[in-house]
Structure 1
Amino acid sequence: MLTDDQLQGAITLVEEKKGREAILLDLKGISMVTDYFLIVTGNSTTQVKAITDNLTDKLPALGVTVLRVEGLQEAKWVLVDCGDLVIHIMTPDQREFYNLERLWGDAKPVSFTTT
């Protein structure tokens, strides 16, 4: 089970490399595979790789284990599987085409309030 700090930390790591339009979806009770999807856009394949590298380098320090990474060679859509959290880093055309937010429309977006 992931904590809010771990989830917020993953978003921060994406933002460090200028990932755009990050959305965290709560899939508990909807998906049997994972609890959360983090979907983010990278402007180019180079940026998608940079975001992925930052995540794989720094997520373990947050206590989040990276189980596998798929799609890095082409870097149009990279999937980082962390078990309870699956991160999708996509180029703008891939994100628009696959529209995961619509596909998982029953999922609730997660927001974090800062005080």
Structure 2
Amino acid sequence: MTRIVEPSRILNSVLASLEDSKAENIVPIDIQRKSSLGDYMVVASGRSHRHVAAVADHLISAVKEAGLGVPRVEGLASADWVLVDTGDVIVHIFRPEVREFYNLEKMWQTPDLDDGTMH
């Protein structure tokens, strides 16, 4: 029987792991009403290739140890931008200059046009 895990519990595990491995500028973004990709996106930085890889490795282990399954991982070999996808929470770990170039937070933090806040 498959156990259903609340996305907020996964988010809390992700944030705890990122903080524990000293990731920088951690920004959680609620994307539930913006995308079917997941419920939350988290953007964080590592100081170098080595730090980005270490943060990603720590996160992958934390997700597995919490019983949240095996996440899909991309970009670990180059460690410029590593994507760790748990299904409900998508985590992007960048080197600072790569993060600045792609600026995902700005794209995903724009207000919904249909949520009644922009009239």
TM (normalized to structure 1)?
0.85
Asked if structure 2 preserves the Cα contact closer than 8 Å seen for 1:48 and 1:78, the reply is: yes
Which has the higher relative contact order, 1 or 2, with Cα contacts under 8 A spaced 6 or more apart? Answer: 1
Q: Secondary structure at the match of 2:87?
A: coil
Deviations 1:75-98 (A, max 9, x none): 000000110110000000011011
Tell me which amino acid in the other structure corresponds to 1:56.
Answer: I
For structure 1, which segment, 15-24 or 1-10, has the greater mean C-alpha deviation from structure 2 after superposition? Answer: 1-10
Q: Taking structure 1 as reference, are residues 52 and 107 closer, same or farther at Cα in structure 2, changes over 3 Å only?
A: farther
SS for the counterpart of 2:11 is helix
Q: 1:49 aligns with which of 26, 49, 53?
A: 53
* Length, aligned pairs only: 108
Q: Which runs of 5+ in 1 are unaligned?
A: 109-115
Q: How far did 1:4 drift? A: 3.2
2:101 counterpart residue number: 97
- The residue aligned with 1:26 is 30
Q: In structure 1, what is the Cα distance between the partners aligned to 2:14 and 2:80?
A: 20
CA RMSD of aligned residues (A): 1.7
TM-score by length of structure 2 reads 0.82
Q: Please give the secondary structure, in 1, of the residue aligned with 2:29.
A: strand
Q: Percent of counterpart pairs with the same letter?
A: 36
